[in-house]
Structure 1
């Protein structure tokens, strides 16, 4: 197994989150060897019987991690081996001891290539956050402001917790990734609740870098046991951090492209970052083409829908114009019926000067003739009839109108 390096704070968190034997197996060393490394790094470890008391739900004491010098923030865990290494073959490896050299060599394990041999698409995550990206810098400034505000007003309950080693490591990885995206012409975007996304060639790709959680069963606490009833479960299921980072793309990608990267003990997220960056750059032209095809398909669908709408409106207008023609025909029929009735009245013997009310019969006859002449559609001419029909729109008729619109 290769030599492994782990941050002192992270190793402290791992030692107090799982039994030493399990953690030692993860690093490929004996539990005694791992305990010796912790003692040399001034990392307190659980005493005998600690995990038995935890399983029984008893209160346990966890001492704080003592401060360390800047040159001692990393711990080197050499693999267990029964063979001595050849000095000539290990001339480029780290010297003896469990504490890492100064900060200049902190990333020697993760990034083996020198800047001269590093590829253009290979991202180097620094061991220390320098000039942070504007988004990361905003997070740090907000966290500091909240801490100062809580300290000023003595808000002990609302005091933000200090950043853990996992938080700072996540900041460094995000800082490197976002700067690389902007270096190739992309954009780094921040949404609500610190959600992140990048934009490449106009394509927005949301993503998330978080610590993976797992469901575990834990014993009931003393307070929970007081409310425990016969038949209830003797444990509670909850989510606990795994100490592993996971990078998730929150957008559908074409078949063949990964959307999740989970680090392992052998391959940390710092080494996966170059693959993630390369994958997103490779998939961007495909997403651009898919967007163009989708927009073109949408445009053609809108054109087809508009053409169907116009055809439907033309059909409705044609039906309404025909309805108007039938109304005019009905009007003409009523006036012709009135004309025939008037001619029949004229054939009857009557005295023109005889008055009905104050009006002589002769004037009544003239009144009927005027009304027939004014209201008969034929008296307006054929052009006027079709000009009236041409004004009809595609709106549905709700009532009948006579020719004059009365």
Structure 2
């Protein structure tokens, strides 16, 4: 498999990846089987979630995360995963854009993002979201639902604090939080990524006397998911027993920045493709118009030639007739008409008249407004 089909990870990056979503899902994205990726992790001494891990998370049960072991072999610190040759070009482009973004942006390892208390003033970009939360109806379970948000009403202050913190942390990089009727976004320039915040439920024993043994209830947990196009970057965070998603604010900020950098690359690629399509469509349109103009040129010149030939023929015909005084009234009227016809045709075919008609119909403009612009240049 060629170097172009490989994606490089550090042990830490692959560790975060296989603990952020099921290993089969990660493996499929990289053209591998779940067992194949598990063997790669084993070779590089990267622990992976055990059987039933994701089912227990889905059920709201407590799970533990095996820490990444320290190793002394530098050769194992980097992992290469191969992409399928049939991978969709857009996914391959996203992978390469992620690699470039990570190379361009590597925050100092000592950097730590702290929760910002709201105090007396909420970040201006979060105010509209807060107002929406206040107006939103509460369901029978205490949940508040709007596009890309489903949280318990008691989690609203925590969510506001989280968004307030992220908004302040991302603002120096030109990144803005925006909440609309359709989604929630992080935006930089013309690029944006949307994300989701929810309150997962946990499976607990039902109260005594209930007909059910267990039920799923809100327990104050939060989950955040970024819907970005990056590959190999963590995009999901879920509270676990004793560990809240705020403990990885640095990772969340890093993911938002990388995903926006990748999205900017994708947006630029799409714009270039759209510009290229528009260019060639315009070029094709110009070609068709040149064909139509060529026909118009031929018609115009043929008409001028026909008019000049008619002038000659009419003059010759009139010259062959006897003295006008000897002509019958009908023939005299025909001669008068022929003389006027010649005058009209001569006026129509003077250089000035022809030049005026050419300008009006734009048959030979300078510069040529239908000239072929040539091949597209990026």
TM range, normalised to the smaller chain?
Answer: 0.3 to 0.5
Tell me: higher relative CO, structure 1 or 2? Use CA pairs within 8 A at least 6 residues apart.
2
TM-score (norm 2): 0.48
